[in-house]
């Protein structure tokens, strides 16, 4: 696989990296979407609702393979050795070059725990003596999408052509984002949340002379193989 996107909850990937995932698929890249938790602590919808919605969202983005490791929602721990082993098995099976996941610092503790789990699993997946199924494999890069505590991105991806697909995928989570007076309000259920996401994407887009963009950070310094490829637009 070219990429593996790992989110703590179903809809996390779509919120911050949906346009990028759709763009990669359109470019012929292959990938897998992986959710860690079972959504059992969600204020709206049931775990089964979320699984159905997640599969629909993945289909909209063009990714046929979406998985869920079934960890307990709200209780992710960065020191969960069993979950690290499960992640390693997925890495060794899929052998992605790139892993996308949450930022190291974020509002939701599960998000931060997910980033820490991915970091540990990426390293240990390459250890030949680590006791997990599959041949050793270490992804080459981990890219962190932007979260609630935005920092400065290392790079931005122009998602102008796939932004609507990203919005359609997010709309598949009717239990989370559709107005419903019978369900409790949450920090992400209102129009203000959508407006904030759109404002961020428009702002990042303006910085790279695009209409919409998604930002990512990388703890390492990403290499540039062709500096002239950066000359597509005037800075």
pLDDT per residue over 40-50, tens digit each? 887 777 889 99
Q: List pLDDT tens digits, range 185-217.
A: 777 777 888 999 999 999 999 999 999 999 999
DSSP labels for the chain?
Answer: --EEEEESSTTHHHHHHHHHHHHHHHTT--EEEEEEE--TT-SSS-HHHHHHHHHHHHHHHT---EEEEEEPTT---TT-HHHHHHHHHHHHHH--SEEEE--SS-SSHHHHHHHHHHHHHHHHTT-TTS-SSS-----SEEEEEP-SS----SEEEE-TTTHHHHHHHHHT-HHHHS--TTS---TTTSHHHHHHHHHHHHHHHHHTTSSSEEEEE-SS----S-GGGGGSS--
What's the topology of domain 3-221? Rossmann fold (3.40.50)
Stretch 131-138: mean pLDDT: 94
Q: Comparing 39 with 94, which gets the higher pLDDT?
A: 94
């Amino acid at each position: 696989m070219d990429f593996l996107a790992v989110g703590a909850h179903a809809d996390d990937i779509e919120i911050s990296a949906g346009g990028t995932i759709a763009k990669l698929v359109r470019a012929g890249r292959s990938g897998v979407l992986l959710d860690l938790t079972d959504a059992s602590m969600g204020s709206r919808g049931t775990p089964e609702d979320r699984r159905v919605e997640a599969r629909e969202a993945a289909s909209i983005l063009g990714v046929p393979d979406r998985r869920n490791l079934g960890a307990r929602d709200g209780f992710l721990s960065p020191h969960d050795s069993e979950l690290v082993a499960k992640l390693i098995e997925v890495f060794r099976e899929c052998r992605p070059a790139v892993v996308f996941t949450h930022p190291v610092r974020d509002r939701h503790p599960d998000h931060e725990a997910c980033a820490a789990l991915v970091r540990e699993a990426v390293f240990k997946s390459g250890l030949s003596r680590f006791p997990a199924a599959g041949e050793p494999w270490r992804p080459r890069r981990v890219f962190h999408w932007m979260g609630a505590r935005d920092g400065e991105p290392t790079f931005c991806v122009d998602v102008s052509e796939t932004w609507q697909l990203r919005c359609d995928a997010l709309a598949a989570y009717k239990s989370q984002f559709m107005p419903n007076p019978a369900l409790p309000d949450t920090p992400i259920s209102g129009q203000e949340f959508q407006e904030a996401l759109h404002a961020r994407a428009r702002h990042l887009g303006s910085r790279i002379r695009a209409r919409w963009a998604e930002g990512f950070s990388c703890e390492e310094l990403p290499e540039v193989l062709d500096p002239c490829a950066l000359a597509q637009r005037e800075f």
